[in-house]
Chain A
């Protein structure tokens, strides 16, 4: 209960919030009957209730104008101005993300991982390719071959038992 109106504090009167609800016809049947009984015996509260009901009914006739037919169009124009180009670009695909977000994300991750693995350079030499030899390595090999030739000339007996280089 909120309290009685200031001008009615010296007697037992109906609560002001109850009177507002009574005038607005928002009370349930039991409460309405109780207030009705009180109003029969209380001219002060009856005066307030009748006056407020008159106000309520006068306000009933105050209707607002219909909303302009282009209200929505104007609103969406304003919204469109604020939407970023990225959002606009993604808009056709948004339902896919909303409904199938998880499967799409999983597939995208899988493709990404596969792509990374395919692009990764292998440690092993490429099969069928010729190994690259530097000039220094070739020169060193030739020198070693020359030394072996010299050595085989010096030891003809050992030559028949060793595999030819």
Chain B
């Protein structure tokens, strides 16, 4: 199977990354490979979108749209870049559109009120005292609010750099800008966060 894929699209494409190979198999009608891609990237895509829009339901809805677009594009797929670059480009595009459309307005209201629907994984160690837990939650809330106030592109760049551990070059391709622009975006974003969260240090 691998030999056939390589011969069909050339050594460059197949050698690019394993995800691209899987996607080429999806292109040939192998739905099981789509399942493997979903399994591998589902969590990172949902988490990225969650941190972008800060609403779990909206994040999952957008993630569904991301994978749906990947599936729809299977017949025209060409591995010209890393698969994750393409995947996160779709995710970022959808997240930025959602933010522009105000899909997460409800969440913003909730952010101002309380954080009662926050993910359960944010609950820290069970051995923490109630006071420690409250302090921990308050700090997380500060972080979430600080990230939410970043301009959209800066936010996307920070989240890809911090949580997805992407290289500057990959972030640049996702955001369709130069590497030096990404460095500038990141430094400004981290400086904004530093200023907002200085009291936490």
Please report A residues at the B interface, Cβ cutoff 8 Å.
Answer: 2, 5, 16-17, 19-20, 23-24, 48, 50-52, 54-56, 58-59, 61-68, 71-72, 74-75, 78-79, 82, 91, 94, 97-98
Interface contact B139-A61, CB-CB below 8 Å: yes
Contact of B193 among A50, A55, A98 (CB under 8 A): A55
Interface contact A54-B200, CB-CB below 8 Å: yes
Task: For the complex formed, measure the closest distance between the CB of B99 and the CB atoms of chain A, giving whole angstroms.
Answer: 17
Main secondary structure of the interface of B (DSSP, over half): helix
What are the interface flags for B45-73 relative to A under an 8 Å C-beta threshold, 1 for contact and 0 otherwise? 01100110000100110011001100110
Task: For the complex formed, measure the closest distance between the CB of A68 and the CB atoms of chain B, giving whole angstroms.
Answer: 6
Interface contact B190-A23, CB-CB below 8 Å: yes
Evaluate whether A55 and B190 lie within 8 angstroms (CB atoms) in the complex, with A61-B136, A65-B56 already known.
yes
B contact residues around A17 at 8 Å (CB)? 168, 183, 186-187
- Cα(A49)–Cα(B140), bound, Å: 21
A contact residues around B59 at 8 Å (CB)? 64
Given A5-B191, A61-B139, 6 more pairs with CB closer than 8 A: A5-B187, A65-B120, A67-B43, A71-B42, A75-B64, A82-B68
Residue of B nearest to A67 (CB): B46
A contact residues around B144 at 8 Å (CB)? 62
Please report B residues at the A interface, Cβ cutoff 8 Å.
Answer: 28-31, 38, 42-43, 46-47, 50-51, 56, 59-60, 63-64, 67-68, 71-72, 118-122, 124, 136, 139-140, 142-144, 147, 161-162, 168, 180, 183-184, 186-187, 190-191, 193-194, 197-198, 200-201
Interface contact A62-B190, CB-CB below 8 Å: no
- Cα(A67)–Cα(B62), bound, Å: 13
- Cα(A9)–Cα(B24), bound, Å: 50
- Can you list 20 A-B pairs, Cβ within 8 angstroms, ordered by A? A2-B183, A16-B187, A17-B186, A17-B187, A20-B187, A24-B162, A50-B201, A51-B194, A54-B194, A56-B190, A62-B51, A62-B147, A64-B121, A65-B119, A65-B121, A66-B120, A71-B42, A71-B63, A75-B67, A91-B31
B contact residues around A62 at 8 Å (CB)? 51, 122, 140, 143-144, 147
Main secondary structure of the interface of A (DSSP, over half): helix
Evaluate whether A98 and B29 lie within 8 angstroms (CB atoms) in the complex, with A65-B120, A65-B121, A75-B64 already known.
yes
Task: For the complex formed, measure the closest distance between the CB of A55 and the CB atoms of chain B, giving whole angstroms.
Answer: 5
Residue of A nearest to B68 (CB): A78
Evaluate whether A78 and B64 lie within 8 angstroms (CB atoms) in the complex, with A16-B187, A64-B51, A71-B42 already known.
yes
Interface contact A2-B180, CB-CB below 8 Å: yes
A contact residues around B71 at 8 Å (CB)? 79, 82
Interface contact B194-A48, CB-CB below 8 Å: yes
Interface contact A67-B42, CB-CB below 8 Å: yes
Residue of B nearest to A53 (CB): B201
Interface contact B198-A51, CB-CB below 8 Å: yes
- Cα(A82)–Cα(B59), bound, Å: 22
